[in-house]
Structure 1
């Protein structure tokens, strides 16, 4: 192989690794609430959605949310074939750059975490009630593509169903049906059939 070609291939490989190891930095916005509206949830009679990648899904509520992306995390375990991505979303005060600048937001083990130094920028209850970690199930390749490319700071609009998932052998994964819970079981299991994302309010 010619030396220049070897160097070119090496540069491509290193560049690709850099994109994997160091994702794009978060988008920033001027201080102020980006998304004032609350998520819209409507309970429905249990509606089977059928088999999705080996899991049985049952819709229990319609759900639509417009929010700021706080973090995304690719999962490789814990039913990752059904839910490859967790997306932490914030609205109201949790879409405000001035608030987020004083919080350290992270994800791990299917949970969403936030920390602060000294005093929280807003009451902790307000943080918990205006942010949620969504276990996203993409209903189609178009939605999957939007979710895969999400970047912290983007405004995203998602629509679909909150679902409970089961699988042979006793596996059961229920969704949260409130935005005010915390801890284990507080995340939304969100079957998304429509998704839009951009840098500005949609």
Structure 2
């Protein structure tokens, strides 16, 4: 009986180690900034999701490291954009940089802090990371969004959108990576999503 318990404990330990997420490798994991391009003639000018009307303003795609994620359930945007992802590219996807920072999200913003000098210039932090409000286009996109974990490299594509909702609700997307603060978040209608 004791031998059986030992074998079972070893098997469970190996299984736990095997299934544990691997730490991200060193270096820049997502070298390129998001790709944004004008709408083409084939792109929709209006999308409807439930009680919300979405106005696409640009095509949008990115590959970035997921720095932090937060699920929102009770604010006015939660019914349309339940997930916010804080994302980093360039040196904001490098473990050596991120290990010297603390990153968190609250109230639809993302924040960072550290002790001493920032690991890279503040302007580069702002231009190489963003908090994005994500609107899943379908249940097939929503499930993978929910399962994504900080530290992973994610890829998604869709549209930057302005959102019109009930009772005068309005959300305007950012269309530049150079802004910070209120109004600087991208609102993305995500049509395709994958993790690396």
TM-score, normalised with respect to structure 2: 0.84
The match for 2:10 is none
> What is the match of residue 3 of structure 2?
none
Q: Which residue of 1 aligns with 2:107?
A: 109
C-alpha contact (below 8 Å) 1:86/1:136 kept by paired residues = yes
Corresponding residue number in structure 2 for 1:73: 70
Counterparts of 1:35-46 in structure 2 under 5 Å?
35-44=30-39
Query: Could you tell me which of 122, 125, 138 is aligned with 1:124?
Result: 122
CA distance in 2, matches of 1:169, 1:34: 42
Mapped contact 1:26–1:152 kept (Cα < 8 A):
no
Note if 1:188 corresponds to 2:183. Answer: no
Question: What 5-or-longer segments of structure 1 have no aligned partner?
Answer: 1-24
Within 1, Cα distance between the matches of 2:50 and 2:44? 18
Q: 1:89 to 1:119 in 2, by over 3 A?
A: same
Instruction: Determine whether 1:58 maps to 2:55.
Output: yes
* Cα deviation, residue 155, structure 1: 0.7
2:28 corresponds to which of 27, 33, 42: 33
Residue correspondences, number: 174
Residue 144 of structure 1 aligns with which residue? 142
Paired position in structure 2 for 1:93 = 91
Tell me how far apart the structure 1 counterparts of residues 117 and 142 of structure 2 sit (CA, whole Å): 38
When structure 1 is superposed on structure 2, of 165-174 and 52-61 the one drifting more is: 165-174
Partner SS state of residue 143, structure 2 = helix
Using the size of structure 1 for normalisation, the TM-score is 0.82
Aligned residues of 2:24 and 2:152 also touching (Cα < 8 A): no
Distance in 2 (alpha carbons) for counterparts of 1:71 and 1:92: 16
Q: Which runs of 4+ in 1 moved over 4 A?
A: none
Decide which moves more: 29-38 or 54-63: 29-38
What secondary structure does 2:80 align onto? coil
Aligned partner of residue 169 in structure 1, secondary structure? helix
